[in-house]
Amino acid sequence: MKTTLDPKSLRSAVAALKKANAETLRLYPGESAARQPVHTVYGGAHLYKADSGRKLGQLALKALHQFAPEPAGFAEVLGIPSSISRQVYDRVVEKLTREPVEDFRIDFEDGYGNRPDEEEDRHAVLAAEEVVKGLRESILTPFVGIRIKPFSNELQGRSTRTLDLFVSAIVKLLKGLPPNFVVTIPKLGNPEQVRALAKILELLEKKLRLPKGSLKVELMIETPQSIFTPTGEAALLGLVQAGQGRVVGAHFGTYDYTASCSITAAHQHMMHPSCDFAKHMMQVNLAGTGVFLSDGATNVMPVGPHRPAPGGSLTSEEIHENVVAVHKAWKLHFDHIRHSLSTGYYQGWDLHPAQLPTRYAAVYSFFLEGLQPASARLKNFIEKAAQATLVGDVFDDAATGQGLLNYFIRGLNCGAITEEEAKAPGLTREELQGRSFLKILEGRKKLGAK
């Protein structure tokens, strides 16, 4: 059939379209297939040791065994269905024994404070040496990084010096960087702060002979200025672009953000409507960019009000009050995490070792409760999509398929589900390791064509 329009007349329109589509793909390459930790634990740089993660796990296990020695009791406190209480409990214990902390942020900001320059210089180098020691002894957390001070006019110089000393000390000892290393910049007020950090990291890479772009950045979103620009435009994508390809994460700061919005301390918490608004803005702005999002932290610690005097013991009433206080804090932490998960935030911050049991209990119960329907859905999706051609509906549905696949990858990575459970939709180990829905379909079609 003859069409009215010929290719020559369409050339300019198609050229502009191709250019626009290419720019969209550059800005929104899709969700990252890399592993995302389920949490970040942070602690002052002056206290950091190579075995900090392992010690936190020991303290977490002690708290679990002291305040919830049985699966049924732990599940009752948190509201976990009895049908999966034993699975969750056993997997939490295994995780706290094997890999209690997934991501550790060595903090030179709020958890460290302002100290004399000589002292911070020393701690920067000592912390770097502990990271190297942990890596060499195979006890380093899978993800690690430092949080520097803000890039305000008053603190930028100190922040840059700490960053320089820390990274230089690591590279001198390792001749490179540890895996999954990031630099976290807090209290962002404008894109130029991110741009300046990117330039400084580029200079460090050149001086230290590191591969270009190897120093990654994590943004702390904890001011209204990091949500909206002065002209009322969404600010987040501009902050990411200012990082010149280095930004891999955006973490919400619950308490700084709510304080910036004049919310009183009594009402500053992770489920405040202002927090949900800010976090949804983060999702809408950064969806499809490949930047990982993280929620904030619960600041009510699971610690009892009573401690025995040296050589003394607690009364039965004091022991009971301790149990009640810890259980109440556990339930709050658990509910906060489940709220995060239900709203699409798969990572958050933990502040205390006794929060680790509830971190993993919340994550594991979330994945286990949805395992059977997700398995059936992904199995049907793969079977139907594999019958289509790569020219038709496959590309339209690829994001959905990848999202379902990511559910299993996330659960498998953190220990929520086993490899056998992840294979339930008909996946092979190689397909899970490949982490790509489109590659799975391509592989299935090649097999079907033979």
pLDDT single digits (tens) 171-185: 999 999 999 999 999
- The sign of the torsion formed by the CA atoms of 19, 24, 27, 33 equals negative
> What pLDDT shows up at residue 56?
98
Percent helix, strand and coil across the chain, each to the nearest 5: 60, 10, 30
> What pLDDT shows up at residue 392?
47
> What pLDDT shows up at residue 180?
97
pLDDT band at 407, cuts 50/70/90?
A: confident
Separation of alpha carbons 164 and 176, rounded Å: 14
For residue 350, the cross-strand partners are 41
Separation of alpha carbons 23 and 433, rounded Å: 29
**Contact (Cβ atoms closer than 8 angstroms) between residue 302 and residue 329:** yes
Domain with CATH 3.20.20.360 in the chain: 39-369
- Tokens for 185, please give them: 């910049």
Amino acid identity for residue 207 in this structure: K
**Contact (Cβ atoms closer than 8 angstroms) between residue 397 and residue 385:** yes
pLDDT band at 322, cuts 50/70/90?
A: very high
Going by the DSSP 8-state scheme, the letter that residue 244 receives in this structure is T
Mean pLDDT of 420-444: 81
Separation of alpha carbons 318 and 131, rounded Å: 40
**Contact (Cβ atoms closer than 8 angstroms) between residue 224 and residue 178:** no
Classified as helix, coil or strand, 370 is coil
pLDDT band at 449, cuts 50/70/90?
A: low
pLDDT tens string 193-212: 999 999 999 999 999 999 99
- Tokens for 48, please give them: 């950091």
Q: Give the Å distances, CA to CA, from 419 to 42, 203, 340, 380.
A: 30, 43, 25, 19
Q: Which class does domain 39-369 fall in?
A: alpha beta
User: Considering only CA atoms, which of 247, 262, 191 is closest in space to residue 215?
Assistant: 247
pLDDT tens string 229-244: 999 999 999 999 999 9
pLDDT band at 393, cuts 50/70/90?
A: very low
> What pLDDT shows up at residue 385?
65
pLDDT averaged over every residue in the chain? 92
- How does DSSP assign 253-318, residue by residue? -HHHHHHHTT--GGG--TT-HHHHHHHHHHHHHHTTS--EEE--B--S----S--PPTT----HHH
**What burial class does residue 33 get, using C-beta atoms within 10 Å of its C-beta: 0-12 exposed, 13-18 middle, 19+ buried?**
middle
Residues 6 or more apart whose Cβ sits within 8 Å of residue 40: 103, 104, 105, 143, 251, 294, 347, 348, 349, 350
**Contact (Cβ atoms closer than 8 angstroms) between residue 357 and residue 326:** no
Q: Is the pLDDT of residue 158 over 70?
A: yes
Taking only Cα atoms into account, the Rg of the chain, rounded to an integer number of angstroms, comes to 24
- Tokens for 403, please give them: 């999202």
pLDDT tens string 362-390: 999 999 998 998 888 888 877 776 665 44
Separation of alpha carbons 190 and 250, rounded Å: 15
pLDDT band at 45, cuts 50/70/90?
A: very high
Q: What are phi and psi of 142, to 5 degrees?
A: -60, -30
Separation of alpha carbons 84 and 369, rounded Å: 8
**Contact (Cβ atoms closer than 8 angstroms) between residue 271 and residue 339:** yes
Q: Is the pLDDT of residue 9 over 70?
A: yes
**What burial class does residue 85 get, using C-beta atoms within 10 Å of its C-beta: 0-12 exposed, 13-18 middle, 19+ buried?**
buried
Q: Is the pLDDT of residue 394 over 80?
A: no
- Tokens for 166, please give them: 């820390």
Looking at per-residue pLDDT, the higher value among 149 and 373 belongs to 149
